[in-house]
Amino acid sequence: MEQDLQNTLSLLTRTPGALNALLRDLPEMWTSRNEGENTWSAFDVVGHLIHAERTDWMPRVRMVLQFGEDQVFPPFDRWGMVRETKGKSLGELLDEFARLRAENLGQLRALNLQQADLQRRGRHPAFGVVTLSELLATWGAHDLTHLHQISRVMAYQYREAVGPWSAYLGVLQCAGHSA
Amino acid sequence: MEQDLQNTLSLLTRTPGALNALLRDLPEMWTSRNEGENTWSAFDVVGHLIHAERTDWMPRVRMVLQFGEDQVFPPFDRWGMVRETKGKSLGELLDEFARLRAENLGQLRALNLQQADLQRRGRHPAFGVVTLSELLATWGAHDLTHLHQISRVMAYQYREAVGPWSAYLGVLQCAGHSA
């Protein structure tokens, strides 16, 4: 099943602004706390999105176009943001994410991909053959999985403050579902 | 456990801008589709947030301050937005939500609540006695549960387009957790 590339671009374009509106200058209680050991804060998630802009999405798009199924994507480092974010403020990360995303979408648009290009194939280290369409759709859905995560991590900070209403708040029952 | 009211206000202030940045002028594929029968689209969720601004949060705050435990909050109509949103565009709903939220936060600030006020009690139709602190914390967490929902409903539209990556995207495994 193919996506409409314009729909994906519309979403990818909006994520930096949405995170900026939600997170900039928010008290650190919301942005620097996580859900416990080896979990991420909102700050960490923005760092992860930056790391993916640098090392995952467009590099993999270019690999598909250049090498097809002949070269395996390098694995993505899920903790790769730790050293990159050290000493930075959340405001700096939000700026960096917006800048990198705009650059990457500029490069993606410049490729002028046609519908037939979306069927081109690459090789994922775990999944094997994947299509360019799947890669690009995942870029968009990946934004959403992390917006989902940020809202959950933030809500977690109020899990006791809401008292009995926790029973009505689905986000407080969410365990994250990620590996 | 009490919240810091400033933290709650910081969050409540930002939600309309975050939803606006994410949703305004986004293709309807993202905003008008839901997860199946009797589920909500992003459009419906914004309508629900508007309905809660009108009938839930500040009316209940005033009931606590005026009547304490002597009067039970009227039940909230979870489908109350259906008639209110009929014929409106998502842009109109986003404007309406921002306007109502700003008005309500202005009224909340004007109450000049002190820490002791947060312990005042009201009566919930299902939970019985609740505190003003719990009500206000829930207002904030309710924004987050619906941001969590919107990101999930949108990701659901790409559940097939992402191909094998669905295994890595926690949001696609989320069933919502709500009653």
**Weakest mean pLDDT among A73-77, A174-178, B39-43:** A174-178
For chain B, what is the radius of gyration of the CA atoms?
A: 18
Q: Which of A26, A155, A161 sits opposite B3 (nearest CB)?
A: A161
Q: Calculate mean pLDDT across residues B109-118.
A: 95
Question: How far is residue A154 CA from its own chain's centroid?
Answer: 17
Mapping DSSP to helix (H, G, I), strand (E, B) and coil, where does residue A129 land? strand
Cross-chain Cβ contact A162/B138 below 8 Å: yes
Q: Rounded to 10 degrees, what is the CA torsion of A113, A118, A119, A123? A: 100
State yes or no: ipTM above 0.90: yes
Restricting to B residues 88-107, those with a Cβ less than 8 Å away from any Cβ of A are none
B17 in reach of chain A (CB within 8 A): yes
d(CA B90, CA B150): 14
- Model pLDDT for residues A7-23, shown as the tens digit of each residue: 999 999 999 999 999 99
Q: Which amino acid is at B68?
A: G
Cα B56–A159–B39 angle (5° rounding)? 55
| pLDDT computed for residue B178 by the predictor | 62
Contact A176, A49 (CB under 8 A): no
- The answer to whether B55 contacts chain A (CB < 8 Å) is no
Interchain CB contact of B170 with A (< 8 Å): yes
Cross-chain Cβ contact B164/A27 below 8 Å:
no
Confidence of residue B179 (pLDDT cuts 50, 70, 90): very low
3-state helix, strand, coil in chain B (%, to 5): 65, 5, 30
| pLDDT above 80 for B7 | yes
Q: Is A32 on the interface with B (CB under 8 A)?
A: no
The pLDDT > 70 percentage for chain A reads: 97
Instruction: Examine the pLDDT at A48 and tell me if it is beyond 50.
Output: yes
Mean pLDDT of B17-45: 97
pLDDT of residue A179: 47
pTM, 2 dp = 0.96
Q: Say yes or no to pLDDT of A178 above 70.
A: no
